[in-house]
C-alpha cells in the first residue's frame, strides 16, 4: 500500500531522515517509537507531503507521490492525519468541523455529510457535543473530534502524530480507546507514539527510529521483549549510562564521586541509593589499585530499576574476587552484600568485573 524507498530529508546541513526504506501493507498498524528529534514526525509528514522530501520515493498503491504528473491532492485524500494540537476550526461547531471537508472536497450533500458526521461522533462517544464549539470541549474530547473529522473524509490510511502528547494523563485513555476501535475495524494506520504499552498491544509492527533511520523493526514481541540492537535496548528499557575513564593511579576520586552524585540526582535516585553507589565505586576501585587504565560504566534502567556496574581494566588477568584477595576482606564482603551477582572475566586483554546491584534502582 505504501512503499518508501531511500527517503531523505535535510534542513540545510541538518540531516533528519537518511535513506529510509520500508513497505507498509493494507490493514497494518505501524507504531513508530524512538527518542525525540530522531525524525519520527518528519517521516510521517513526508508521507503526505506536509514536508517535501529531499530525495527518495514514496509510492501510494503503486503511484509515485513525488512524480510531477501525479495528482497529489487526489492521492492525499487517501490519507487522514491527526496532529498533537487538534487543529479544529474554533469558530465552527463540532458538526461543522466534520462536514466542511466532505461537502467542499468530496461533493457530499449537506444532509449526507451531517448523517455521516453524527455516526462518527457516536463512534467516538461525542454525539451529544455536535452543536458545541471546540473551546467547550476538553483536550481528550477535541482529539476524539479530530479523529472523527479525519474519518469523515473516508481515508484509506490514518497517520497519527503523537496524538496523546498534548493531553493530561487522565485524557489519554479515552483517545487510545478510539484508536483501538479503529484497529479492530482494520484501518491502516501509522502512529508516532510514546505510549509503549499501547504500541505493544495494537501494532502489527513497530519501527524504532534513531539517527534519522528505521534503526530496528519487528513485531511488538520482537521489539519490546527481545530487541537485537543496542540503541533499541537502551530505549525500550530506558537505560541511562554513566561512564568515567581513569588513566592514572593518581586519579581525582572526589571529582569522580561528584559526577556520580550528579548522575544519581538527574535520574532521581534517592540519597541512600546514591551513597551506596559511591561506596561500591570506592570499594571496586580499591580492588583495582594495581591498574591505571580503568573504565567504569553504570547502566541504570528506569523501566525495571536494574543497575549494572562494569569495571574494566587493562593488564594481565587478575581476578580480584579470588586471586590475592582474602575472603574475609571487608571491602569484598561489602560488595557481595550489596550486589545480586558479582562476575569476573578476562577478554581482549581486559579484566572485566560486572556487578548487578541490589536495591530499588
**Residue range 232-254, pLDDT digits in tens:** 988 887 777 889 999 988 899 99
- Domain shared by 8 and 151, yes or no: yes
pLDDT band at 171 (very low <50, low <70, confident <90, very high): confident
Lowest mean pLDDT among 136-140, 172-176, 300-304: 300-304
Cα gap 213→23, rounded to integer Å = 14
- If asked whether residues 218 and 252 sit together in one domain, one would say no
| Domain of residue 54, CATH code | 3.40.50.300
Distance of CA 205 to the CA centre of its chain: 14
Tally of structural domains, the chain: 2
The helix (H) or strand (E) run that includes residue 342 is strand 339-347
Task: Give the pLDDT confidence score for residue 324 in this predicted structure.
Answer: 57
- Kindly list the distances between the CA atom of residue 356 and the CA atoms of 241, 294, 296, 306, 335, in Å, as whole numbers in the listed order: 14, 19, 14, 7, 10
Grade residue 359 by pLDDT with cuts at 50, 70 and 90.
low
Do 77 and 140 lie in one domain? The reply is yes
Is residue 52 located within the same domain as residue 131? yes
**Residue from 129, 131, 150 nearest 141 by CA:** 129
Residue 326: pLDDT band (50, 70, 90) is: very low
138 close to 171: Cβ distance less than 8 angstroms: yes
Pair (12, 122) in one structural domain:
yes
Report which of 176, 148, 141, 180 is spatially closest to residue 162, judged by C-alpha positions. 176
Same domain, 273 and 231: no
Sign of CA pseudo-dihedral 56, 62, 68, 71: negative
Quote the domain boundaries for residue 284: 239-357
Residues 251 and 203 in one domain: no
Write down which residue in 236, 269, 304 finishes a domain: 236
The answer on 315 and 292 residing in a single domain is yes
Average pLDDT over residues 189-198: 92
Which residue among 182, 203, 236 closes a domain? 236
Q: Say whether both 34 and 64 belong to one domain.
A: yes
CA 21/CA 193 separation, integer angstroms: 20
Residue-wise pLDDT for 91-129, tens only, equals: 999 999 999 999 999 999 999 999 999 999 999 999 999
- Which residue do the cell numbers 458538526 mark? 95
Q: What is the pLDDT of residue 46?
A: 95
How, if at all, do strands 239-246 and 55-60 pair? unpaired
Q: Does 204 share its domain with 324?
A: no
Q: Which three cell numbers stand for residue 235?
A: 530505549
Last residue of a domain, which of 178, 212, 236?
A: 236
pLDDT of res. 267: 75
The answer on 98 and 247 residing in a single domain is no
- DSSP alpha helix (H) spans, the chain: 40-47, 72-76, 94-105, 110-123, 139-152, 169-184, 196-202, 220-225, 230-236, 253-266, 271-287, 330-338
- Residue 289 sits in the same domain as residue 231: no
> Considering only 100-104, 224-228, 292-296, 327-331, which range has the smallest mean pLDDT?
327-331
3-state DSSP helix/strand/coil % of the chain, to nearest 5: 35, 30, 35
**For the segment 253-262, what is each residue's pLDDT rounded down to a tens digit?**
999 999 999 8
Q: For the chain, give the mean pLDDT.
A: 90
pLDDT digit string, tens, across residues 286-319: 888 888 899 999 988 777 777 889 999 998 888 8
Instruction: Give the residue-averaged pLDDT of 64-89.
Output: 90
Residues in contact with 327: Cβ distance below 8 Å, sequence separation at least 6, in sequence order: 333
What CATH number is associated with residue 320?
Answer: 3.30.565.10
Amino acid at each position: 500500500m505504501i512503499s518508501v524507498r531511500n527517503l531523505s530529508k535535510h534542513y540545510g546541513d541538518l540531516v533528519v531522515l537518511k535513506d529510509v526504506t520500508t513497505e507498509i501493507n493494507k490493514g497494518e498498524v505501524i507504531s513508530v517509537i524512538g527518542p525525540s528529534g530522531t525524525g519520527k514526525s518528519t517521516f510521517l509528514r513526508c508521507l503526505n507531503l506536509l514536508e517535501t522530501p529531499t530525495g527518495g520515493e514514496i509510492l501510494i498503491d503503486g503511484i509515485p507521490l513525488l512524480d510531477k504528473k501525479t495528482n497529489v491532492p487526489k492521492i492525499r485524500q487517501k490519507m487522514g492525519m491527526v496532529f498533537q494540537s487538534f487543529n479544529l476550526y474554533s469558530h465552527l461547531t463540532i458538526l461543522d468541523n466534520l462536514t466542511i471537508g466532505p461537502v467542499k472536497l468530496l461533493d457530499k450533500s449537506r444532509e449526507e455529510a451531517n448523517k455521516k458526521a453524527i455516526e462518527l461522533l457516536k463512534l467516538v462517544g461525542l454525539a451529544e457535543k455536535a452543536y458545541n464549539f471546540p473551546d467547550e470541549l476538553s483536550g481528550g474530547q477535541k482529539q476524539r473530534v479530530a479523529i472523527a473529522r479525519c474519518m469523515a473524509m473516508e481515508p484509506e490510511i490514518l497517520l497519527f502524530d503523537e496524538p496523546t502528547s498534548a493531553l493530561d494523563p487522565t485524557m489519554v485513555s479515552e483517545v487510545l480507546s478510539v484508536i483501538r476501535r479503529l484497529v479492530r475495524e482494520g484501518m491502516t494506520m501509522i502512529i508516532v507514539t510514546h505510549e509503549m504499552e499501547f504500541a505493544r498491544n495494537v501494532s502489527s509492527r513497530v519501527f524504532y527510529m534513531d539517527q534519522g533511520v528505521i534503526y530496528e523493526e519487528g513485531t511488538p514481541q520482537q521489539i519490546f521483549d527481545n530487541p537485537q540492537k543496542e540503541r533499541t535496548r537502551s530505549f525500550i528499557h530506558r537505560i541511562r549510562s554513566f561512564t568515567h575513564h581513569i588513566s592514572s593511579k593518581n586519579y581525582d576520586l572526589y571529582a569522580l564521586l561528584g559526577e556520580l552524585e550528579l548522575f544519581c540526582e538527574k535520574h532521581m535516585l534517592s540519597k541512600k541509593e546514591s551513597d551506596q553507589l559511591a561506596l561500591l565505586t570506592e570499594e571496586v576501585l580499591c580492588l583495582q589499585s594495581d591498574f591505571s587504565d580503568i573504565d567504569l560504566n553504570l547502566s541504570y534502567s528506569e523501566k525495571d530499576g536494574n543497575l549494572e556496574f562494569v569495571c574494566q581494566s587493562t593488564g594481565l588477568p587478575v581476578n580480584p574476587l579470588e586471586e590475592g584477595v582474602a575472603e574475609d576482606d571487608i571491602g569484598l564482603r561489602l560488595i557481595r552484600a550489596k550486589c545480586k551477582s558479582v562476575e569476573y572475566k578476562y577478554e581482549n586483554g581486559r579484566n572485566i568485573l560486572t556487578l548487578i546491584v541490589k536495591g530499588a534502582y
